Amino acid sequence: TANDIDLLLQQLIAGSIGVQQQLILQLSDLGDEGLHALMEFLLKRRETKATWIDGNAYQVLYKSNAPKAKEFLLSCFPEGIVPLKSECGIDYNCLQQLLAVQDFQAADRLTLQKMCELAGLTAIQRKWLYFTEVENFPITDLHTINHLWLVHSEGKFGFSVQREIWLGLSKNWENFWSKIGWKNGNNWTRYPNEFTWNLSAPKGHLPLSNQLRGVRVIASLFSHPAWN
């Protein structure tokens, strides 16, 4: 009933993260009224920085075929729940759309593409990055890309997640590759089929950074002032 759903909404607003995740799942199964509660939830949390709980609620609405949900997102969150700020006029809307439907493989490709755009024309043509280019990336853009990954992966994926793991392993690359599933024993995980393109992956598994040309690019990314 409407009262039951209202109770779920109150619990959703007040609950711990684990409870919230459960409740979003429940509400997603309760038809239009459940979706409506999720809309209210998102509106209520609008002024605070989006977390992966907001991401979950948003994804349910985004993936639902309910016309009311579509209308709501279009008018209240036309560019998603993460502010798509860029210091160089880069459009992150496609990336947010891929992540909203959790197409992590396509989002991973686009992330590299966007970072090449950040680096400039020569990097766009080259299709890979120099570490010196990464050093000069604007903090704003790295925050936007990272926040998008975090929010749409239940906090599992993103550069900041990878960096924390790397720091926790005293910056030991070999241990880091194993930990995030980029290496298994002595064997590199092969692109693309051996990677795990969903949330069953190890924490920090995505986004990828090709190690064919060495660790300097990812080292530069992890040392960027964006994460201070």
Q: Is 209 in the site for ligand UYC (CB under 6 A)?
A: yes
DSSP letter at 50 equals P
Q: Is 191 in the site for ligand UYC (CB under 6 A)?
A: yes
Helical ranges in 127-199 per DSSP H: 131-135, 139-151, 159-168, 173-179
Among 189, 215, 219, 227, binds ligand UYC (CB under 6 A): 189
Please identify, using beta-carbon distances, which residue of 11 and 195 lies nearer to ligand UYC. 195
Q: How many CB atoms lie within 10 A of CB 228?
A: 6
Among 58, 104, 157, 182, binds ligand UYC (CB under 6 A): 182
* Minimal CB distance residue for ligand UYC: 211
* Both tokens assigned to 203: 């924490």
Instruction: Tell me which stretch binds ligand UYC (CB under 6 A): 21-29, 32-40, 155-163, 208-216.
Output: 208-216
Residue type, 25: L
Q: Is 126 in the site for ligand UYC (CB under 6 A)?
A: no
Instruction: Tell me which stretch binds ligand UYC (CB under 6 A): 2-10, 19-27, 158-166, 202-210.
Output: 202-210
Q: Is 175 in the site for ligand UYC (CB under 6 A)?
A: no
Q: Is 208 in the site for ligand UYC (CB under 6 A)?
A: yes
Place of tokens 């496609």: 94
Among 211, 215, 223, 227, binds ligand UYC (CB under 6 A): 211
Q: Is 128 in the site for ligand UYC (CB under 6 A)?
A: yes
Minimal distance in Å, beta carbon 181 to ligand UYC? 9
CA neighbor of 195 nearest in space, from 177, 185, 186, 208: 208
Q: How many CB atoms lie within 10 A of CB 11?
A: 14
Minimal distance in Å, beta carbon 153 to ligand UYC? 16
Residue type, 118: L
* Both tokens assigned to 68: 């009311």
C-alpha 193/C-alpha 90 separation (Å) is: 29
CA distances from 45 to 42, 78, 84 (A): 5, 16, 17
Minimal distance in Å, beta carbon 187 to ligand UYC? 9
Residues near ligand UYC (CB under 6 A) are 128, 177, 182, 188-189, 191, 208-212
